[in-house]
Amino acid sequence: MRVALGVSYRGQGYTGWQSQPHGRTVQDKLEAALSQFADTPIRTMCAGRTDTGVHGLNQVIHFDTEAVREPFSWVRGVNRYLPPDIAIQWSVFPEDPQFHARNSAQGRRYAYLVLESAVRPAIEAGAAGWVFRPLDGDAKREAAALLIGEHDFSSFRSAECQAASPVKTLRGIEIHRRGAYWRFEFDASAFLHHMVRNIMGCLVAVGSGTKPPAWMAEVVAAKSRDAAAPTFMPDGLYFVGPYYDPRHGIPDRVAAMDWLP
């Protein structure tokens, strides 16, 4: 049986999603809980790997198992064995046996929450990025518009990126403000390693007046990481989740999406 699950997690206490020998990753904790609940080893495939400190709202995973459980049992039963900052949100038995959490995704979404304040965050430490200079929303939106569409995003790609091609389609960037907080929303076919954090570094540079909006087009055209701003902090970055053809019946919303300002 193929099972698909939605997972939410706070990334501060983990060295990213992908399993590591030291075991301090989200995948390691999740697979240990799944294996304990199912009483058999379980290995998972996720929709998109996240880095150290990056949070997940609706990370989608799938796995195959011979263990027979009701859908709600995969939620409540597995959560019993998970730490407080990781929780299964839903479970689905895909009708299509070929459903694949990564390969079946039509796109992926990220959100970045940034506090604009003269004083560093405390309550929201790790849950929000921070800038102490005022940001110009119109300038950021003008620069972001230059990234929409299919481009070679080599300028926003980390040296460790394993993607076969730097060409991706960025479908949308929305920028909103609520009080002292800025929320950036990214929608793309797929993302390169550190792509969102590197774009954020450039948007903050434009928003703070260090660079003009038109500079973003120069960064894209350069196809060189050296042309872009430094990588922005992981604090405040959320993998909102992937989305699929409706026929798969995969939920694209969880409660935490309403919590995030």
Residue 130 in domain: yes
Identify whether residues 112 and 98 lie together within a single domain.
Answer: no
Please say whether the beta carbons of 244 and 104 come within 8 A. yes
Identify whether residues 208 and 121 lie together within a single domain.
Answer: yes
Q: Residue 160 has what pLDDT? A: 87
Residues 16-40 pLDDT 10s: 999 999 989 999 999 999 999 999 9
Whole-angstrom CA distances from 36 to 41, 45, 79, 131, 137 are 8, 18, 11, 43, 48
Higher pLDDT, 249 or 95: 249
Count H helices and E strands in the chain, helices first: 6, 10
Identify whether residues 168 and 230 lie together within a single domain.
Answer: yes
Identify whether residues 221 and 112 lie together within a single domain.
Answer: yes
- Give catalytic residue positions: 51
Residue 9 in domain: yes
Q: What is the domain extent for residue 227? A: 108-238
The amino acid at residue 105 is A
Identify whether residues 114 and 132 lie together within a single domain.
Answer: yes
Identify whether residues 116 and 221 lie together within a single domain.
Answer: yes
> pLDDT at residue 248 above 80?
yes
Structure tokens at 86: 């990781």
The amino acid at residue 80 is R
Could you tell me the CATH number of the domain that includes residue 164?
3.30.70.660
Please say whether the beta carbons of 255 and 120 come within 8 A. no
Residue 251 in domain: no
Identify whether residues 88 and 210 lie together within a single domain.
Answer: no
Identify whether residues 83 and 123 lie together within a single domain.
Answer: no
Please say whether the beta carbons of 23 and 35 come within 8 A. no
pTM value is 0.95
Q: Final residue of a domain: which of 84, 104, 124?
A: 104
Residues 160-176 pLDDT 10s: 888 899 999 999 999 99
Identify whether residues 13 and 36 lie together within a single domain.
Answer: yes
> pLDDT at residue 259 above 80?
yes
Residue 43 in domain: yes
Residues 106-136 pLDDT 10s: 999 999 999 999 999 999 999 999 999 999 9
Could you tell me the CATH number of the domain that includes residue 97?
3.30.70.580
Q: Residue 158 has what pLDDT? A: 93
Rounded to the nearest 5°, which phi and psi values hold at 173? -135, 120
Q: Of 261, 207, 197, whose CA–CA distance to 233 is shortest?
A: 197
Please say whether the beta carbons of 143 and 213 come within 8 A. yes
- Distance of alpha carbon 46 from alpha carbon 8, whole angstroms: 12
- Distance of alpha carbon 182 from alpha carbon 216, whole angstroms: 19
H or E stretch covering 61: strand 55-64
Spacing of C-alpha 251 from chain mean position: 16
Q: Residue 137 has what pLDDT? A: 97
Please say whether the beta carbons of 182 and 113 come within 8 A. yes
Residues 6+ positions from 71 with CB-CB distance below 8 Å: 91, 92, 93
DSSP β-bridge partners for residue 88: 7
Q: Final residue of a domain: which of 104, 123, 145?
A: 104
Share of the chain residues as helix, strand and coil, in percent rounded to the nearest 5: 25, 30, 45
